[in-house]
Structure 1
Amino acid sequence: MELVTERTVDGFRRELLRREYSHGTAESYVRSIRAFARWSGGAVDRGLVLTWKARLTAQYAPATVNAMLAGLNRFFDFAGRPECRVKVLRLQRRSFREAERELDRGEYRALVRTARTLGRERLALVMETICATGIRVGEVPYITVEAACRGRTDVALKGKVRTIFLPDRLCRRLLQYARKQKITSGEIFLTGGGKRLSRTQIWAEMKRLCRAAGVAAGKVFPHNLRHLFARTFYRACQDVVKLADILGHSSIETTRIYLLTTGTEHLRQLERLGLLC
């Protein structure tokens, strides 16, 4: 019997959501399963999974490989085939991140300005909302008219509830935009047809800005706005525990990843040590 079918994949997705995995994580796992099934032609055994792991390792960054393997391993547990599980790659702790992947404040402002110049006010405001609050792109639906009126919103995600505060200036912009769109209650960021704005649509719209804004496409994706918020907040207050609470991290080690400096900054710090005679 074929293991990866629409029925088993849909059942797996429902089980993840029942266990309160986020919709984003569930969809990511499903994409990994389908990618493997397309490559293997539907066949499943541990030898094939190991070969696929080797191919992924040759093509993608280790973190990406591990994310794909995590989805596949969980699916094998769900489908009653734990013998097909494989080990993820061991990752060495990194001390800095690549400059070509880091979005800086000037590039962020260029993206927002370009969006407004092109008449993409909704996109400009979505980017400002993510970057000014540190929310995940999947938490954008929690930005409602009511939240903008209160200056705060309660986010329930990944089995946790946390309060997100909205700066006054952002609230004024959100309410002004809502009035212009004739939105009197509920979610502010909607499509032209009144449906929820998806993370995929936000990602795609940001990518389309790159050339006009003069920002490298590799730096432009919603999660990088969250990283920019984290670095900026930490430089202002130097409190990693408070930052972890704001970002909704259970572990400060996760927050530490957001605070990695670029290799260029790392080198400048070494130069300032003055340890060469």
Structure 2
Amino acid sequence: MERTITTGILQDFAAHLAREERAPATMEKYLRDARQFGTWLDGAAVTKESVIAWREHLLTEHLLSPSTVNASLSALNGLFRFLGWEDCRARFLKIQRRMFRDSARELTRPDYDKLTATARGMGRERLALTMETICATGVRVSEVRFITVEAAKQGRSEITMKGKIRVILIPAKLCRKLLKYAKKQKIVSGEIFLTGNGRGVTRRQIWSEMKRLCVYAGVEPSKVFPHNLRHLFAVAYYRAYKDIAKLADMLGHSSIETTRIYLLSSGAEHQRQLDRLGLVS
């Protein structure tokens, strides 16, 4: 029987991802990648050969990075695993372990200070406080909804995501700022970061607001996205305490290897380290 990607299959896959309690952003990406592959096939059958051809198409014609291509393959392999089409799964591209981060995408402390100061100068207190909360606690942007009035009063928040539960501590100064903001907004309980109609701000809203802000703050757009605030927290914490195991727990990582990626130095810093070796006469 010929295997094709249909609307019904994608709907079933979406339901499967929901049952697995995948994050909304992950579900959206998996389904988008699967739809793009189906459109590219244009009704042709799904085979291992067609998946390999798609991999090459993304790499050579779309000029996507190997890591982006692998992310697309991960989505397709997840779909094939769900359908029982194990023989259609293709291997990931081999990527050499990165030694340092791209400085063009690295958010520095001065960049962060510019963003928060600019947001406050423009009267965007919610955005400024949201950025401070992510950066001072290391929460994911999807976890901002767990920052509640109750959590600010207790100085800690219990985060439940993907079947995992972890407790994050909230700095005392941040708690005071959160409670002051909540009082000003007349929020007596529940989520602190709300839109004008009383709904929790979404990941997409925070992302788009930060992108608009970077123009006024004079910070390169390539550096400005919520996840980079989490990176800045990780780097600052590790430089202060050198405890990667505790940092992994705070970030909610099940593997220290994932945390290690967060701690890659920038290319410029790596260059300075090489220069300090003094091995050239």
Show the 5 A alignment for 1:62-141.
62-141=66-145
- The alpha carbon displacement at 1:3 in A equals 4.0
Show the 5 A alignment for 1:10-21.
10-21=11-22
User: Residue 110 of structure 2 aligns to a residue in which SS?
Assistant: helix
Closer, same or farther: CA 265–112 of 1 in aligned 2, 3 Å: same
Counterpart of 1:38, as a letter, is T
Query: How many Å separate the matches in 2 of 1:221 and 1:95?
Result: 22
Answering whether residue 214 of structure 2 is matched by residue 213 of structure 1, we say no
Name the counterpart of 2:171: 167
Name the counterpart of 1:225: 229
Counterpart of 2:50, as a letter, is L
Name the counterpart of 1:40: 41
Q: List alignment gaps of at least 5 residues for structure 2.
A: none
- The alpha carbon displacement at 1:2 in A equals 7.9
Show the 5 A alignment for 1:192-271.
192-271=196-275
Closer, same or farther: CA 5–191 of 1 in aligned 2, 3 Å: farther
Closer, same or farther: CA 99–49 of 1 in aligned 2, 3 Å: same
Q: List alignment gaps of at least 5 residues for structure 1.
A: none
Residues 72-101 of structure 1 deviation map (CA, whole Å, 9 limit, x = unaligned): 111122233333221111121111111101
Moved over 4 A (4+): none
User: Residue 153 of structure 1 aligns to a residue in which SS?
Assistant: strand
Name the counterpart of 1:56: 58
Counterpart of 1:209, as a letter, is L
The counterpart of 1:274, out of the listed 264, 271, 278, is 278
Say whether the 8 Å CA contact 2:100–2:265 is kept in structure 1: yes
Question: Which has the higher mean CA deviation after the structures are superposed, 242-251 or 186-195?
Answer: 186-195
Query: How many Å separate the matches in 2 of 1:40 and 1:28?
Result: 18
- The alpha carbon displacement at 1:138 in A equals 0.9
Residues 43-64 of structure 1 deviation map (CA, whole Å, 9 limit, x = unaligned): 3423332222112223222222
Counterpart of 1:210, as a letter, is C
Query: How many Å separate the matches in 2 of 1:122 and 1:3?
Result: 46
Give the structure-2-normalised TM-score.
0.93
Counterpart of 2:25, as a letter, is G
Closer, same or farther: CA 238–52 of 1 in aligned 2, 3 Å: same
Counterpart of 2:41, as a letter, is S
Query: How many Å separate the matches in 2 of 1:192 and 1:12?
Result: 34
Name the counterpart of 2:195: 191
Query: How many Å separate the matches in 2 of 1:130 and 1:33?
Result: 31
User: Residue 96 of structure 1 aligns to a residue in which SS?
Assistant: coil
Counterpart of 2:146, as a letter, is Y
Name the counterpart of 2:9: 8
Query: How many Å separate the matches in 1 of 2:117 and 2:40?
Result: 42
Give the structure-1-normalised TM-score.
0.94
Counterpart of 1:126, as a letter, is T
How many residues were matched structurally? 277
Counterpart of 1:33, as a letter, is A
Query: How many Å separate the matches in 2 of 1:162 and 1:188?
Result: 20
User: Residue 60 of structure 1 aligns to a residue in which SS?
Assistant: coil
Say whether the 8 Å CA contact 2:5–2:46 is kept in structure 1: no
- The alpha carbon displacement at 1:147 in A equals 0.4
Say whether the 8 Å CA contact 1:3–1:79 is kept in structure 2: no
Question: Which has the higher mean CA deviation after the structures are superposed, 251-260 or 9-18?
Answer: 9-18
Residues 86-121 of structure 1 deviation map (CA, whole Å, 9 limit, x = unaligned): 111112111111110100000011111111122211
